[in-house]
Structure 1
Amino acid sequence: MKKLSPLIEQRADPYIYKHTDGYYYFTASVPAYDGIELRRAKTIQALATAETVMVWRKPSEGDYSELIWAPEIHFNMGAWYVYFAAAPSREIKFDLFQHRMYAISCSDANPLTGEWIFEGKIDSGIDAFCLDATTFTHSNELYYVWAQKELDVRGNSNLMIAKMETPTKLATKPVRLSKPEYDWEIQGFWVNEGPSIVKHGSRIFISYSGSATDERYAMGILWAEQSADLLDPASWTKSVEPVLVSEPSEKVFGPGHNSFTVDEEGNDMLVYHARNYTEIEGDPLWDPNRHTYVKKLRWDETGMPIFGSPAFEE
């Protein structure tokens, strides 16, 4: 086994996308939570030293002027979109954890040098805390999956899905796929968040993260047949046990908020963040040392993913 080192330090909620132009595009939460940073490179490894470009900065006040979290870059319907969560300024809401989802778009070929347009808020149909949206295309339909607070459900956030009419507008009502219920999902906070999609064989998988963002943070999965109705909760099976957890003996803690990409040979890759210590001073939110890791995602003979250890590539 190969011991893993961080690919990029101090970048939480990492997202890597390989585009048809042959470039890998990377974005993540930056420690100051003050904007959206992009980088690109011809290989995954080269992302570590690639030029960083801040393509959008938060305003000084207003509805989306605090805590820019978990951006993801997607190419949907012929243009670039970055989906991100943002909170209102302290003057509007004393409680900063009032995030909603927003998007910016770019029609230029190179999103690092192109012009970005603020598209505004994405209405989830539920006026409550939401974050961590991702999109994917399946059977020529664009889907939106995100973490949503539901006022009548205990906990901080549940996993929701809907079809999209455009890259910034939902076409269907939100459907809940999962809520925090198992012991590993309710440590510190009742959380299902950070969904990401990967397809393999006949199935489609949604990974997600649960519990507080310290060493208790861990990952789980849902899966459905690709031929199923993805908007029907009954189509999905949820793993009772987590699939990626801390490895204290190797000092890798709180692995989660992952994404998936492919390497230069087309192999599935798992992207996630983790810390290398547990002695966090103050609120874990402001600790900058969640680092980006990348490893190969293995598959077993039944077509299920093998996440393995967050400290090693098996």
Structure 2
Amino acid sequence: MDALQQLPEELLTLRDWIRWSASRFNQAGLVFGHGTDNALDEAAALALHTLHLPLDLHPQYWEARLTRPEAEALFARVRRRIEERLPLSYLIHEAWFCGLSFYVDERVLVPRSPIAELIEQGFQPWLDPQRVERVLDIGTGSACIAIACAHAFPQAEVDAVDISADALEVARINVERHGLQAQVQLHQGDIYQGLPAERRYDLIVSNPPYVDAEDMAVLAEEFRREPELGLASGDDGLDCARRILAGAAERLTEHGVLVLEVGNSMPALEAAYPRLAFTWLEFERGGDGVCVLSAEQLRSLPSL
């Protein structure tokens, strides 16, 4: 792309740079979905972060001119976004979830689960927030869900488990950034492995790998930059979900609940478990494929 060969000297203001960047993103056919869903929002977020400015910047500053070093830094990031198809969050090493900032890199998925809305609501009406004493986050990745739950339930102990040692290094960065070392405990293990055997939870929440083989084969390049371990889950997308369901009853307290995200694998999950009355949730900010199951429901299925 000729426009990316040299710094465009005619671009002066922040508004100029955002418009130009968005045009280049659209021209290159970029795919969004890692914090923004369109080229203009992506360009604005990239520019503001590069210039160390807040996302709610007052409109009067859109006409401010960039210095030469600022323009060069932003130009370099625009080029990387296009040429490497790197998701925005990997370029700026930041993602937002439940109103909280998280460090991210290519060792973890970019946080974007609709479960954020449930956390903000304290998982009501399925739980009494004041009675939640233990939470388990399975497949924690960056620990965004675990940390957000720790904020939502300050009285609760939160366990976060992941099979990936690399992911847990990122999770540890975030736990320390949020000062939650005493409340959030990280464990390396596969699903329930690595957790204290006697421990029971009022809430088990998981956004595990759930992309089926067919969808994995056609993923956009931006999504292929994320770790496959956090996405792929067998032919039907349920390899992890089955194992989470199989062990959940033994790990939940009497009135505990499981919140499980399976995205596009929702029809496959219903077909695999016809005796389970799944409660599928709706979200104001979009997203689907998240269900809630009670301990009682799970215990009624001995075949699990």
Give the TM-score of the pair, scaled to structure 1: 0.30
Give the TM-score of the pair, scaled to structure 2: 0.30
Q: Where is the strand percentage greater, Structure 1 or Structure 2?
A: 1
Q: Higher relative contact order at CA 8 Å, sep ≥6: structure 1 or structure 2?
A: 1
Q: Where is the helix percentage greater, Structure 1 or Structure 2?
A: 2
Higher-Rg member (1/2): 2
